[in-house]
Structure 1
Amino acid sequence: MLKGKWLPIVLLLFFGLLQYRLWFGKNSIPDYYSRKAEVKTQALQNANLSQRNALLNADINDLKIGLEAIEERARNELGLIKQGETFYRILPADTK
């Protein structure tokens, strides 16, 4: 009586084990959804950090340009001379 029914029973047992693994095992469907939520959160954090990095790069570029502008202003208004440079002052001709 049991000779013809062993194959469906074994197949049903394997199917049950696969279902258990699908729903409760490692890398199961609940794990998939939790990882999906983690990826979404991480992508949002990465976007925020990328925006922050872009702002910091803009600040760095402004400071680089700003330093050149400050140096130019100091040369013209205050007579800044760097070490190793020679200063030549050209005076306008007197018109008397």
Structure 2
Amino acid sequence: MRWLLAVLVFLLLVLQYRLWIAEGSLAEIHRLEKQVTEFNRENDQLRARNEVLEREVLNLKSGNEAVEQRAREQLNLVREGEVFYQVDDAAADSAAGDGKQ
């Protein structure tokens, strides 16, 4: 009878070890679920970014308006016959300040 009790206690300890510490334990499952949630959130952000980039690529492929807008904004290009005026904010602020005094 004593050996049966020892075997049952041993099995209980082995099962508890597997439940709390070993591979496939509750702690590992919780950690993996948390990691999956984090990866899903990151994937959603990347999908949204990819959709924006895809729309931008389609817009650039479909017409010249988007290309012209980018050239104007990023490269400061103008069409032939247009005049480009650049206003210096510091000079405008000082001129506005002189007029108020």
TM-score, normalising length: structure 1? 0.62
Q: Distance in 1 between matches of 2:30 and 2:24?
A: 10
1:35 to 24, 32, 49: 32
Report the equivalent of 2:61.
Answer: 64
Cα offsets for 1:4-57 (capped at 9, x unmatched): 221232022111111012101122111111111111110000000000111111
SS at match of 1:25: coil
Q: Which of the pair has more CA radius of gyration? A: 1
With over 3 angstroms needed to count, the CA separation of the structure-2 counterparts of 1:15 and 1:42, relative to structure 1, is same
Q: Distance in 2 between matches of 1:33 and 1:10?
A: 31
Gaps of at least 5 residues in structure 1 are: 71-96
RMSD: 2.0
With over 3 angstroms needed to count, the CA separation of the structure-2 counterparts of 1:68 and 1:14, relative to structure 1, is same
- Spell out the pairing of 1:10-89 with structure 2 (5 A cutoff): 10-67=7-64
Q: Which amino acid aligns with 1:21?
A: R
Answer with 42-51 or 23-32: which moved more.
23-32
Work out the number of aligned pairs and report it.
Answer: 67
Q: Distance in 2 between matches of 1:49 and 1:68?
A: 27
TM-score, normalising length: structure 2? 0.59
**How far off is 1:69 after superposition?**
8.8
Gaps of at least 5 residues in structure 2 are: 68-101
Higher helix share: 2
Once the two structures are aligned, what percentage of the paired residues are identical? 33
Q: Distance in 2 between matches of 1:34 and 1:51?
A: 26
Answer with 23-32 or 54-63: which moved more.
23-32
